[in-house]
Amino acid sequence: MKCKTCGQKAAVNLRQHRLGLCADHFLEWMPAQTARFIKKYQMFGPDEKVLVAVSGGKDSLSLWDILTRLGYQADGLYLGLGIGDEKNPYSAESHRLAEKFAAGRGLKLHVLDIGEVYGQSIPQLAESAHRGQGRPCSVCGVAKRHEMNRIARDLGYDVLATGHNLDDEAAVLFGNTLGWQADLLPRQAPVLAGHDGLARKVKPLCRFYEKDMAAYAILRGIEYIYEECPFSVGSTSIYYKELLNRLEADRPGAKLAFYVKFLEASAGGLFAAQQAETGLPLFLCPTCGQPTAHEGQCSFCRMVSR
């Protein structure tokens, strides 16, 4: 296979687009496409301050790399979750890689360690809250959303960007569709508007396959954490990704079509009734002052106060 742009040997085969590219042209194509999606979905403008949530993984570090290549004012936020042990120091290693990335490029990285600030790491919080049955993923999600929003708001960022790729989004969509989660479907979008103390959230990589994000990180020489989060092994999200990849192997472009057609249907009003319900006014948590869907303390504050 040859590069469509220059005719040299292709390093990447984007089967969903019937496009082969050499390393150089792939590394030009990715930021150009990202810029296109930022504009198409009206994520943010050139003068807005972006906070990138970085985990030390391929997607978030690549996103930060792409945004800075495009000239955006993008700082990073790393949350220390306290996951891992001496044998597999997952959080310590991901923190090291995020710091290394930032230092090597002269970028600003904000770091917050959940255990230091709240007295308990994510696995400890899950245990004390009796949630997750040994798998703290839901607690981790609540904590990350809470802290990312708080920090973006407190530090005056206009927008919070995460490195969710198309495989992440398609897996969530697949799960929500399997369960006909009508309340969750309209909440999935490349941009979640900011309102009532909630930061605007954007996913500039939502149209890129996970495989292409890994290719970008490798070709850009980005050192990222290769080992899985120990709690994600055997997770439903990985199972759904594998199912979708089996479909993709037989029908190139199927994953992309599944997600993009969902976005088109959503924009066309398919979930209008549910969208009206998600726009209901929010309450303020009496402890942290952040918006919450229910009266009283938010989920995170209830968890940490146990």
Partner 1 sequence: MTVKLVLRGKEHEVKAGMTLLDSLRRANILPEGVLAVRNGQMIVEDEILREGETIRLVAVISGG
The CA distance from 83 to 204, in Å, is 27
Least separation in angstroms between residue 60's CB and partner 1 is: 11
Total residues at interface with partner 1 (CB under 8 A): 36
Q: What is the dihedral of CA 24, 30, 35, 40, to 10 degrees?
A: 140
SS3 (DSSP) at 74: strand
In the complex, minimum distance from the CB of residue 280 to partner 1, in angstroms, rounded to a whole number: 29
Among 29, 52, 57, 74, binds partner 1 (CB under 8 A): 57
**Which of the stretches 40-48, 53-61, 145-153, 256-264 binds partner 1 when contact is defined by CB under 8 A?**
53-61
Contact flag: residue 214 with partner 1 (CB under 8 A):
yes
Binding pattern for the stretch 218-257 against partner 1, x by CB under 8 A and - elsewhere: xx------x-xx--xx-x-xx--xx--xx-xx--------
Contact at 8 Å (CB) between 129 and 120? no
In the range 66-125, which residues lie near partner 1 by CB under 8 A? Answer: none
Largest CA distance in the chain: 62
User: What type of residue is 102?
Assistant: A
Q: Is 52 in the site for partner 1 (CB under 8 A)?
A: no
CB-CB contact of 164 with 205 (8 Å): yes
Q: Alpha carbon of 262 to those of 169, 188, 190, 272, 279: distances in Å?
A: 11, 10, 12, 13, 20
Applying CB under 8 A, the residues found at the interface with partner 1 are 1, 10-13, 20, 23, 55, 57-59, 137, 140, 167, 209-211, 213-215, 218-219, 226, 228-229, 232-233, 235, 237-238, 241-242, 245-246, 248-249
